[in-house]
Amino acid sequence: MRSFTIFILAVLALALSGCTKHEAPGVVRLRLIMWGKQDELGFYNESLKVFYKDHPNIRVDVELIPWSRMLDKLLICTAAGDTPDVCRVDSTYFTPCAAKSVLECLDPYIAADPTFDIKDFYPEAVKGWGMYDGKVFGLPSDVDIYAMYYNKTMFDKCGVPYPDETWDWAKYLSAARKLTKDLDGDGKLEQWGCVPDTWWQDYVWQNGGEIVTKNNKRCLLDQPAAYEALQWMADLRGKRHVAPSPSDSADIGPQKLFTNGQVGMLVSGSWAAPLIFKKEIKNFDYDVAPIPRGKRRAAFMGGAAFGMLSRSKHKKEAWELVKFMTSPTFQGYYARTQQIIPSRRSVAESGAYLYLKDKPLHKQVFIDAIKYGFVIPNIECSREMNDIINNEMVMATLGKRSAKETCMTITPIVNDLLMYNRPRRRSNAGGR
């Protein structure tokens, strides 16, 4: 009996040893949290093998969660003390993370690292989703800039010249009218010229308007430049009928109408070509052009950044990982495989992105758009503000209420929010 007990204990000990990670002496294990699908895990783990060659004392556990849960995950982890070491942060909630001391200030690390050159990054990206209160809290990893895809085959059939940098709202509307067709003569439209830009902010910016004042103290949607632009957008569906109504796209969505060949023009990002269009577009040729200008040229610009968590216990090693995830090596690979625009000028303007053989042909359009890109207002309450505006804005975009009435409803609510969410100065560089 005693020998049997010893045997059982030995088997259990062997089994447990097979389930336990034994790190070599001096090896630091970092937690990296990002949004994504689990089938992307292999891509990141394979990429990190390059990192391990130069950092044999570091190993990384990659955690992928849905984008919609990222901000809550970061805030909860920080509050609970179960903090990852490095995270990927979206431009739409970068400022709340920095303001709430979730992220470590990177200025001391940048200053002390002679191998690192922040000037290689597009300054628009660093300022837009890398800086808060004059300090760097994240290194931009990519640029999400939008342009206008168009169905070349449809343009040719309808005798419409391809869009270029001379296009304004008038030329856009004229082309949309020519592309909109009742193909079978049943009195119903089966083909439309365009789909309204999903970023309603683009119309406001293009019309010379702004979302809030420069000091982030007051909402400006009650100004004519804002609500007149939004009414023009809504009228593409409700008044001019050159865009599909909600009922027309209810089953498949406006993006699918484009890939099906039923819509002539669609505003989207560079990522749409490899992730969606390459798989779904089968029966027509397409390319990309600048978003048509209103009183000025403007396009939504965002992206992501990698940051170090302020409560990380391995900040020296975490800085090395942040550098790698925004390095020319990683950005180049990401650009070639996903057509993601790098945040480093040296990579974005090299063959890693511009000279890819995959469609669209005129990729330079996306690079050029960085010069006139606009970032969603970076304020501490941006998440709450965007939710308030978007929930009300649906009434205008669907034609349920005029854009002016909608904006007049939104503005005082946002003003109250801004009043009670004035910026608070951080007491230290790194936070707690």
**Is the separation of the CB atoms in 304 and 96 below 8 Å?**
no
**Same-domain check for residues 230 and 160:** yes
pLDDT in tens, 203-228: 999 999 999 999 999 999 999 999 99
Based on C-alpha coordinates, what's the Rg of the chain?
Answer: 25
The residue ranges of DSSP E strands in 229-360, in sequence order, are: 263-269, 286-289, 299-308, 341-342
Average pLDDT over every residue of 114-123: 94
The residue ranges of DSSP E strands in 217-275, in sequence order, are: 263-269
pLDDT on residue 54: 95
**Same-domain check for residues 104 and 232:** no
**Same-domain check for residues 158 and 270:** yes
- pLDDT over 90 at 294, yes or no: yes
Q: Which residues lie across from 135 on neighbouring strands? A: 132
- Judge whether 432 lies within some domain: no
- Judge whether 118 lies within some domain: yes
Spatial neighbors of 164 by CB under 8 A, at least 6 apart, are: 289, 290
pLDDT on residue 267: 97
- Judge whether 135 lies within some domain: yes
**Is the separation of the CB atoms in 298 and 211 below 8 Å?**
no
- Judge whether 121 lies within some domain: yes
- Judge whether 1 lies within some domain: no
**Same-domain check for residues 155 and 210:** yes
Q: What is the DSSP letter of 141?
A: E
pLDDT tier for residue 12 given thresholds of 50, 70 and 90:
very low
**Same-domain check for residues 270 and 183:** yes
165: tokens are 């940098």
- pLDDT over 50 at 241, yes or no: yes
**Same-domain check for residues 264 and 412:** yes
Of 202, 183, 180, nearest to 192 (Cα)? 180
pLDDT on residue 354: 80
Positive or negative CA dihedral for 238, 242, 248, 253?
negative
pLDDT tier for residue 80 given thresholds of 50, 70 and 90:
confident
Average pLDDT over every residue of 150-179: 98
pLDDT on residue 382: 85
**Same-domain check for residues 176 and 37:** no
**Same-domain check for residues 157 and 274:** yes
**Same-domain check for residues 284 and 397:** yes
Structurally, how many domains does the chain consist of? 2
Integer Cα distance of 374 and 229 in angstroms = 16
Which residue do the tokens 């940048």 mark? 110
Contacts 24+ apart (CB under 8 A), 427-432: 429/105, 429/107, 429/108, 429/135, 430/104, 430/105, 430/310, 431/101, 431/102, 431/103, 431/104, 431/105, 431/310, 432/101, 432/310, 432/311
pLDDT tier for residue 351 given thresholds of 50, 70 and 90:
confident
pLDDT in tens, 24-53: 668 999 999 999 888 889 889 999 999 999
- pLDDT over 50 at 59, yes or no: yes
**Same-domain check for residues 409 and 350:** no
Average pLDDT over every residue of 188-209: 96
Domain hosting 69: range is 27-144+302-371
pLDDT tier for residue 426 given thresholds of 50, 70 and 90:
very low
Residue 49 or residue 8, greater confidence: 49
Which residue do the tokens 């403007």 mark? 298
pLDDT on residue 1: 44
**Same-domain check for residues 101 and 173:** no
pLDDT on residue 19: 40
Average pLDDT over every residue of 272-296: 95
pLDDT on residue 23: 55
**Same-domain check for residues 179 and 97:** no
- pLDDT over 80 at 7, yes or no: no
Q: What is the DSSP letter of 357?
A: S
- Judge whether 285 lies within some domain: yes
- Judge whether 162 lies within some domain: yes
Average pLDDT over every residue of 235-240: 94
> What CATH number is attached to the domain comprising 229?
3.40.190.10
Q: Considering the chain, what percentage of its residues have pLDDT values greater than 90?
A: 70
